[in-house]
Amino acid sequence: MTLLRQNFIIILVFFGMVLSGLIYLNHNQCRCNQKMKEQGIINGGTDETIHPRKSRCNQQITEQGITNLEWKQNTFGLRSSPGLLYNQQSALVGSRTDVASVTSWSAPIIWEGTFDSTLIDSIYKQQNLTIATTAFALGKYVRFVKDFLESAEQHYFVGFRVHYYLFTDQPELVPEVKMGENRSLTVLKVQSLKRWQDISMSRMEKLEKLIESELASEANYIFCLDIDTKFYGRWGVESLGRLVGVIHPWLYDTSRDKFTYERSPKSQAYIPAGEGDYYYAGGAFGGSLEDVYHLTKTCREQMSIDAANSIEAVWQEESHLNKYFLLNKPSKLLSPEYMWRDINASAAQIKIVRFTNVPKNYAEIRPNP
Protein backbone atom coordinates (compact mmCIF):
# COMPACT_ATOMS: atom_id res chain seq x y z
CA MET A 1 0.00 0.00 0.00
CA THR A 2 1.28 3.37 -0.81
CA LEU A 3 1.90 5.95 1.89
CA LEU A 4 -0.80 8.10 0.34
CA ARG A 5 -3.44 5.44 0.79
CA GLN A 6 -2.39 4.92 4.35
CA ASN A 7 -2.76 8.63 4.95
CA PHE A 8 -6.17 8.57 3.36
CA ILE A 9 -7.28 5.79 5.63
CA ILE A 10 -5.92 7.53 8.69
CA ILE A 11 -7.70 10.75 7.80
CA LEU A 12 -10.90 8.82 7.15
CA VAL A 13 -10.76 7.10 10.52
CA PHE A 14 -10.03 10.42 12.18
CA PHE A 15 -13.02 12.11 10.63
CA GLY A 16 -15.15 9.15 11.49
CA MET A 17 -14.19 9.54 15.13
CA VAL A 18 -14.87 13.26 15.07
CA LEU A 19 -18.26 12.60 13.58
CA SER A 20 -19.29 10.06 16.14
CA GLY A 21 -18.00 12.38 18.82
CA LEU A 22 -20.20 15.14 17.53
CA ILE A 23 -23.21 12.90 17.37
CA TYR A 24 -22.57 11.75 20.94
CA LEU A 25 -22.23 15.28 22.28
CA ASN A 26 -25.31 16.43 20.56
CA HIS A 27 -27.21 13.50 21.91
CA ASN A 28 -26.17 14.54 25.40
CA GLN A 29 -27.19 18.11 24.77
CA CYS A 30 -30.57 16.98 23.70
CA ARG A 31 -30.99 14.71 26.66
CA CYS A 32 -29.91 17.58 28.81
CA ASN A 33 -32.51 19.84 27.31
CA GLN A 34 -34.96 17.06 27.81
CA LYS A 35 -34.02 17.01 31.46
CA MET A 36 -34.42 20.76 31.73
CA LYS A 37 -37.83 20.43 30.22
CA GLU A 38 -38.79 17.77 32.70
CA GLN A 39 -37.57 19.85 35.59
CA GLY A 40 -40.17 22.33 34.62
CA ILE A 41 -38.54 25.66 35.11
CA ILE A 42 -42.00 26.95 35.26
CA ASN A 43 -42.94 30.33 36.43
CA GLY A 44 -46.17 30.93 38.27
CA GLY A 45 -47.64 33.09 35.62
CA THR A 46 -45.32 35.39 33.78
CA ASP A 47 -45.30 34.49 30.16
CA GLU A 48 -42.12 36.10 29.09
CA THR A 49 -39.60 34.26 27.03
CA ILE A 50 -36.41 36.03 27.73
CA HIS A 51 -32.93 34.84 26.99
CA PRO A 52 -33.17 31.05 27.10
CA ARG A 53 -30.96 29.77 29.83
CA LYS A 54 -27.67 29.03 28.23
CA SER A 55 -25.97 25.75 28.82
CA ARG A 56 -26.42 25.60 32.54
CA CYS A 57 -27.13 21.99 32.01
CA ASN A 58 -23.96 21.35 30.11
CA GLN A 59 -22.06 23.06 32.80
CA GLN A 60 -23.54 20.62 35.24
CA ILE A 61 -22.51 17.63 33.28
CA THR A 62 -18.96 18.81 32.89
CA GLU A 63 -18.52 20.11 36.42
CA GLN A 64 -19.48 16.82 38.04
CA GLY A 65 -20.06 18.51 41.35
CA ILE A 66 -22.45 17.50 44.08
CA THR A 67 -23.20 21.19 44.42
CA ASN A 68 -24.92 21.08 41.08
CA LEU A 69 -27.80 18.80 41.97
CA GLU A 70 -31.00 19.83 40.28
CA TRP A 71 -33.49 20.43 43.05
CA LYS A 72 -37.17 20.19 42.33
CA GLN A 73 -38.34 23.76 42.03
CA ASN A 74 -40.18 25.14 45.03
CA THR A 75 -41.55 28.24 43.41
CA PHE A 76 -44.75 28.49 45.35
CA GLY A 77 -46.47 31.45 46.76
CA LEU A 78 -49.28 30.90 49.25
CA ARG A 79 -52.19 30.97 46.81
CA SER A 80 -55.60 30.89 48.39
CA SER A 81 -58.78 29.83 46.58
CA PRO A 82 -61.30 32.59 46.01
CA GLY A 83 -64.39 32.14 48.11
CA LEU A 84 -62.82 29.99 50.79
CA LEU A 85 -64.46 30.79 54.13
CA TYR A 86 -62.86 30.76 57.59
CA ASN A 87 -62.95 32.85 60.73
CA GLN A 88 -61.17 36.16 60.95
CA GLN A 89 -58.22 36.25 63.21
CA SER A 90 -57.59 39.29 65.35
CA ALA A 91 -54.33 41.20 65.05
CA LEU A 92 -54.50 41.95 68.75
CA VAL A 93 -55.35 38.63 70.26
CA GLY A 94 -52.95 35.80 69.78
CA SER A 95 -54.64 32.47 69.37
CA ARG A 96 -52.42 30.98 72.06
CA THR A 97 -51.48 33.18 75.01
CA ASP A 98 -49.78 30.42 76.99
CA VAL A 99 -46.96 29.77 74.53
CA ALA A 100 -44.61 31.61 72.22
CA SER A 101 -45.73 31.35 68.62
CA VAL A 102 -42.71 32.91 67.00
CA THR A 103 -38.94 32.79 67.59
CA SER A 104 -36.65 35.79 67.99
CA TRP A 105 -35.67 35.43 64.35
CA SER A 106 -39.36 35.42 63.32
CA ALA A 107 -39.72 31.73 62.58
CA PRO A 108 -43.23 30.54 63.50
CA ILE A 109 -43.62 27.92 66.24
CA ILE A 110 -46.50 25.61 65.41
CA TRP A 111 -48.96 24.82 68.20
CA GLU A 112 -52.57 23.76 68.06
CA GLY A 113 -54.61 26.92 67.53
CA THR A 114 -51.91 28.93 65.83
CA PHE A 115 -52.89 27.82 62.33
CA ASP A 116 -56.10 27.33 60.40
CA SER A 117 -56.06 23.85 58.85
CA THR A 118 -58.84 24.52 56.34
CA LEU A 119 -56.98 27.52 55.00
CA ILE A 120 -53.55 26.00 54.79
CA ASP A 121 -54.73 22.70 53.35
CA SER A 122 -56.41 24.67 50.63
CA ILE A 123 -53.25 26.67 49.96
CA TYR A 124 -50.92 23.70 49.79
CA LYS A 125 -53.26 21.42 47.84
CA GLN A 126 -52.66 23.65 44.87
CA GLN A 127 -48.98 22.90 44.82
CA ASN A 128 -48.90 19.21 43.87
CA LEU A 129 -46.38 18.41 46.53
CA THR A 130 -44.46 15.26 47.25
CA ILE A 131 -43.26 14.73 50.79
CA ALA A 132 -40.48 12.18 51.23
CA THR A 133 -40.44 10.56 54.65
CA THR A 134 -37.60 8.47 55.99
CA ALA A 135 -37.38 6.01 58.86
CA PHE A 136 -34.83 3.44 59.98
CA ALA A 137 -35.83 0.07 61.45
CA LEU A 138 -32.83 -2.09 62.21
CA GLY A 139 -32.62 -5.13 64.46
CA LYS A 140 -35.58 -5.43 66.78
CA TYR A 141 -36.82 -1.97 65.82
CA VAL A 142 -38.53 -3.53 62.84
CA ARG A 143 -41.37 -4.36 65.23
CA PHE A 144 -42.39 -0.68 65.23
CA VAL A 145 -42.93 -0.42 61.50
CA LYS A 146 -46.52 -1.57 61.39
CA ASP A 147 -47.88 0.91 63.92
CA PHE A 148 -45.77 3.70 62.50
CA LEU A 149 -47.03 3.23 58.97
CA GLU A 150 -50.64 2.47 59.86
CA SER A 151 -50.92 5.51 62.10
CA ALA A 152 -49.15 7.66 59.51
CA GLU A 153 -51.72 6.63 56.95
CA GLN A 154 -54.35 7.93 59.37
CA HIS A 155 -52.78 11.23 60.42
CA TYR A 156 -49.70 12.19 58.45
CA PHE A 157 -50.22 14.52 55.47
CA VAL A 158 -53.54 12.92 54.73
CA GLY A 159 -54.64 13.72 51.21
CA PHE A 160 -51.13 14.60 50.03
CA ARG A 161 -48.53 12.59 48.15
CA VAL A 162 -46.16 10.86 50.55
CA HIS A 163 -43.29 8.56 49.70
CA TYR A 164 -41.91 6.59 52.63
CA TYR A 165 -38.34 5.36 52.53
CA LEU A 166 -37.79 2.64 55.07
CA PHE A 167 -34.21 1.60 55.74
CA THR A 168 -33.88 -1.83 57.32
CA ASP A 169 -31.46 -4.71 57.64
CA GLN A 170 -34.34 -7.22 57.46
CA PRO A 171 -36.53 -6.34 54.49
CA GLU A 172 -38.30 -9.68 54.80
CA LEU A 173 -39.67 -8.68 58.19
CA VAL A 174 -41.33 -5.49 56.99
CA PRO A 175 -45.08 -6.12 57.22
CA GLU A 176 -47.61 -5.42 54.49
CA VAL A 177 -49.32 -2.17 55.30
CA LYS A 178 -52.21 -0.88 53.25
CA MET A 179 -51.26 2.46 51.71
CA GLY A 180 -53.65 5.13 50.57
CA GLU A 181 -53.81 6.41 47.06
CA ASN A 182 -50.88 8.64 46.17
CA ARG A 183 -48.76 7.08 48.88
CA SER A 184 -45.92 4.64 48.42
CA LEU A 185 -43.29 2.78 50.35
CA THR A 186 -39.77 1.95 49.28
CA VAL A 187 -37.82 -0.50 51.43
CA LEU A 188 -34.05 -0.05 51.33
CA LYS A 189 -31.74 -2.69 52.68
CA VAL A 190 -28.84 -1.60 54.83
CA GLN A 191 -26.16 -3.37 56.77
CA SER A 192 -26.78 -4.37 60.37
CA LEU A 193 -24.81 -2.51 63.02
CA LYS A 194 -23.84 -3.68 66.46
CA ARG A 195 -24.25 -0.54 68.54
CA TRP A 196 -27.50 1.44 68.73
CA GLN A 197 -25.45 4.61 68.83
CA ASP A 198 -23.90 3.68 65.49
CA ILE A 199 -27.29 2.83 64.06
CA SER A 200 -28.51 6.25 65.13
CA MET A 201 -25.53 8.14 63.80
CA SER A 202 -25.26 6.34 60.50
CA ARG A 203 -28.62 7.70 59.53
CA MET A 204 -27.15 11.05 58.59
CA GLU A 205 -24.98 9.57 55.90
CA LYS A 206 -27.74 7.36 54.57
CA LEU A 207 -30.04 10.35 54.35
CA GLU A 208 -27.40 12.42 52.62
CA LYS A 209 -26.89 9.72 50.02
CA LEU A 210 -30.59 9.10 49.58
CA ILE A 211 -31.28 12.74 48.86
CA GLU A 212 -28.32 12.96 46.50
CA SER A 213 -29.12 9.92 44.49
CA GLU A 214 -32.88 9.58 44.61
CA LEU A 215 -34.82 12.47 45.88
CA ALA A 216 -33.35 15.67 44.61
CA SER A 217 -35.73 16.14 41.75
CA GLU A 218 -38.57 13.98 42.98
CA ALA A 219 -39.73 15.38 46.28
CA ASN A 220 -40.40 18.91 47.46
CA TYR A 221 -39.97 18.28 51.16
CA ILE A 222 -38.50 15.59 53.35
CA PHE A 223 -39.06 14.58 56.94
CA CYS A 224 -36.73 12.27 58.81
CA LEU A 225 -38.45 10.49 61.66
CA ASP A 226 -37.65 7.96 64.33
CA ILE A 227 -39.43 4.63 63.89
CA ASP A 228 -40.21 3.80 67.52
CA THR A 229 -43.10 6.20 67.42
CA LYS A 230 -46.73 6.51 66.45
CA PHE A 231 -49.07 9.18 65.12
CA TYR A 232 -52.12 10.10 67.19
CA GLY A 233 -53.16 13.40 65.64
CA ARG A 234 -52.86 15.53 62.55
CA TRP A 235 -49.39 16.17 61.18
CA GLY A 236 -49.99 18.22 58.07
CA VAL A 237 -48.81 21.01 55.82
CA GLU A 238 -48.51 23.41 58.74
CA SER A 239 -45.21 21.63 59.34
CA LEU A 240 -43.72 22.46 55.95
CA GLY A 241 -40.89 24.93 55.67
CA ARG A 242 -37.38 25.35 54.35
CA LEU A 243 -35.72 24.00 57.46
CA VAL A 244 -37.84 22.56 60.22
CA GLY A 245 -36.84 21.55 63.73
CA VAL A 246 -38.96 20.08 66.52
CA ILE A 247 -38.65 21.25 70.10
CA HIS A 248 -37.65 18.32 72.33
CA PRO A 249 -40.51 17.16 74.59
CA TRP A 250 -38.37 16.93 77.71
CA LEU A 251 -36.52 20.21 77.32
CA TYR A 252 -39.00 22.89 76.27
CA ASP A 253 -39.42 24.45 79.67
CA THR A 254 -35.76 24.59 80.61
CA SER A 255 -33.09 27.23 80.69
CA ARG A 256 -30.44 26.86 78.02
CA ASP A 257 -27.68 25.92 80.41
CA LYS A 258 -29.65 22.83 81.32
CA PHE A 259 -29.98 21.71 77.72
CA THR A 260 -28.12 18.47 77.12
CA TYR A 261 -25.91 19.96 74.43
CA GLU A 262 -22.48 18.47 73.92
CA ARG A 263 -20.32 20.37 76.39
CA SER A 264 -16.87 19.13 75.52
CA PRO A 265 -14.94 21.64 73.38
CA LYS A 266 -13.21 18.70 71.73
CA SER A 267 -16.37 17.73 69.90
CA GLN A 268 -17.59 19.42 66.74
CA ALA A 269 -21.02 19.48 68.37
CA TYR A 270 -19.81 21.66 71.24
CA ILE A 271 -22.11 24.43 72.39
CA PRO A 272 -20.81 26.52 75.30
CA ALA A 273 -22.92 27.58 78.27
CA GLY A 274 -24.71 30.85 77.54
CA GLU A 275 -25.49 29.90 73.96
CA GLY A 276 -28.38 28.07 72.37
CA ASP A 277 -31.94 28.83 71.36
CA TYR A 278 -33.84 25.57 71.92
CA TYR A 279 -33.08 21.91 72.40
CA TYR A 280 -34.22 20.17 69.24
CA ALA A 281 -35.26 16.52 69.02
CA GLY A 282 -33.17 14.23 66.85
CA GLY A 283 -36.28 12.11 66.33
CA ALA A 284 -37.86 14.47 63.81
CA PHE A 285 -36.55 17.13 61.48
CA GLY A 286 -37.20 18.13 57.91
CA GLY A 287 -37.50 20.80 55.28
CA SER A 288 -36.72 21.35 51.66
CA LEU A 289 -34.52 18.73 50.05
CA GLU A 290 -31.68 21.14 49.55
CA ASP A 291 -31.63 22.37 53.13
CA VAL A 292 -31.95 18.92 54.67
CA TYR A 293 -29.22 17.70 52.36
CA HIS A 294 -26.94 20.38 53.68
CA LEU A 295 -27.87 19.48 57.23
CA THR A 296 -27.25 15.77 56.86
CA LYS A 297 -24.02 16.31 54.98
CA THR A 298 -22.70 18.70 57.61
CA CYS A 299 -23.67 16.40 60.49
CA ARG A 300 -22.11 13.46 58.75
CA GLU A 301 -18.88 15.39 58.23
CA GLN A 302 -18.78 16.62 61.82
CA MET A 303 -19.39 13.13 63.16
CA SER A 304 -16.56 11.88 61.01
CA ILE A 305 -14.21 14.44 62.49
CA ASP A 306 -15.32 13.48 65.99
CA ALA A 307 -14.79 9.80 65.25
CA ALA A 308 -11.31 10.55 63.97
CA ASN A 309 -10.67 12.28 67.29
CA SER A 310 -12.14 9.35 69.22
CA ILE A 311 -15.00 11.31 70.63
CA GLU A 312 -18.70 10.54 70.47
CA ALA A 313 -21.11 13.35 71.28
CA VAL A 314 -23.29 12.83 74.34
CA TRP A 315 -26.50 12.38 72.35
CA GLN A 316 -24.94 11.21 69.11
CA GLU A 317 -26.30 12.87 66.01
CA GLU A 318 -28.89 14.77 68.05
CA SER A 319 -26.00 16.77 69.52
CA HIS A 320 -24.74 17.53 66.04
CA LEU A 321 -28.23 18.43 64.90
CA ASN A 322 -28.48 20.93 67.73
CA LYS A 323 -25.16 22.45 66.79
CA TYR A 324 -26.34 22.73 63.21
CA PHE A 325 -29.60 24.40 64.19
CA LEU A 326 -27.76 26.87 66.39
CA LEU A 327 -25.70 28.04 63.44
CA ASN A 328 -28.39 27.55 60.78
CA LYS A 329 -31.61 28.74 62.30
CA PRO A 330 -34.65 26.70 61.31
CA SER A 331 -37.19 28.67 59.32
CA LYS A 332 -39.99 26.97 61.28
CA LEU A 333 -40.25 25.18 64.61
CA LEU A 334 -42.75 22.51 65.57
CA SER A 335 -43.90 22.40 69.17
CA PRO A 336 -43.49 19.20 71.21
CA GLU A 337 -46.96 18.19 69.96
CA TYR A 338 -44.94 16.91 67.02
CA MET A 339 -42.57 14.75 69.05
CA TRP A 340 -44.04 13.96 72.43
CA ARG A 341 -42.93 11.89 75.39
CA ASP A 342 -45.67 9.27 75.56
CA ILE A 343 -49.37 9.15 74.69
CA ASN A 344 -50.19 8.86 78.38
CA ALA A 345 -48.09 11.79 79.50
CA SER A 346 -49.77 15.19 79.63
CA ALA A 347 -48.65 18.76 79.99
CA ALA A 348 -50.68 21.95 80.23
CA GLN A 349 -49.47 23.41 76.97
CA ILE A 350 -49.87 20.23 74.93
CA LYS A 351 -53.46 20.38 73.70
CA ILE A 352 -52.98 17.58 71.24
CA VAL A 353 -50.42 14.81 70.91
CA ARG A 354 -49.70 14.35 67.20
CA PHE A 355 -46.61 12.14 67.14
CA THR A 356 -44.99 10.46 70.08
CA ASN A 357 -42.46 7.98 71.26
CA VAL A 358 -43.96 4.62 72.17
CA PRO A 359 -43.03 2.91 75.43
CA LYS A 360 -40.45 0.22 75.10
CA ASN A 361 -37.99 -1.79 77.14
CA TYR A 362 -34.69 -0.33 76.03
CA ALA A 363 -32.67 -3.10 77.63
CA GLU A 364 -34.58 -5.70 75.65
CA ILE A 365 -34.76 -3.96 72.34
CA ARG A 366 -31.36 -2.35 71.83
CA PRO A 367 -28.46 -4.42 70.54
CA ASN A 368 -26.23 -3.01 73.26
CA PRO A 369 -26.70 -1.04 76.51
Partner 1 sequence: MSISGIMQLRQNFFIIILFFGMVLSGVIFLNNIQNSCKQQKIEQVVIKPKWKQKTFGLRSLPGLLYNQASVLVGSRTDVASVTPWSAPIIWEGTFDPILIDSIYKQHNLTIATTVFALGKYTRFVKDFLESAEQHYFVGFRVHYYLFTDQPESIPEVKIGEKRNLTVLKVQSLKRWQDISMSRMEKLEKLIENELANKADYIFCLDIDTKFYGRWGVESLGRLVGVIHPWFFDAPRDRFTYERRPESQAYIPAGEGDFYYAGAAFGGLLEDVHQLTKTCREKLLIDAANSIEAVWQEESHLNKYFLLNKPSKLLSPEYMWRDINEKADQIKVIRFSNVAKNYAEVRPNP
C-alpha distances out from residue 57 to 49, 62, 242, Å:
18, 9, 25
CB atoms near residue 113 (< 10 Å) = 15
Q: Is 254 annotated as a binding residue?
A: no
45 versus 65: smaller Cβ distance to partner 1: 45
Min dist CB 48 to partner 1, Å, is: 7
Task: Provide the minimum distance between the beta carbon of 138 and partner 1 in the complex, in angstroms, as a whole number.
Answer: 31
Rounded Cα gap, residues 274 and 312, in angstroms: 22
C-beta of 200 vs 335, nearer to partner 1: 335
Marked catalytic residue, from 214, 318, 337, 364: 318
CB of 103 to partner 1, least distance (A): 6
- Output 10 or 173, the one with its CB closest to partner 1: 10
User: Of 147, 153, 152, 146, which Cα lies nearest the Cα of 173?
Assistant: 146
342 a known binding residue? no
Residue 68 is given by DSSP the state G
Contacts of 161 (CB under 8 A, 6+ apart): 128, 129, 130, 131, 182, 183
| 98 belongs to an annotated ligand binding site | no
* Angle between helix 289-308 and 196-210 (nearest 10): 140
Q: Strand, helix or coil at 270?
A: strand
Q: Please, what sign has the CA dihedral across residues 134, 136, 142, 143?
A: negative
Known binding residue 318? Answer is yes
Known binder of ligand: residue 291? no
Instruction: Tell whether 338 is in a known binding site.
Output: no
Closest CB 249 distance from partner 1, rounded Å:
11
Active site residue 318: yes
* DSSP for residue 175: P
CB of 166 to partner 1, least distance (A): 29
- CB nearer to partner 1: pick between 26 and 368: 26
Q: How many CB atoms lie within 10 A of CB 101?
A: 17
Nearer to partner 1 (CB atom), residue 77 or residue 159:
77
Distance CA(352)–CA(341), nearest Å, equals: 12
> Which positions make up the binding site?
141, 226-228, 248, 260, 318
> Which positions make up the binding site for UDP-N-acetyl-alpha-D-galactosamine?
141, 226-228
Catalytic residues: 318
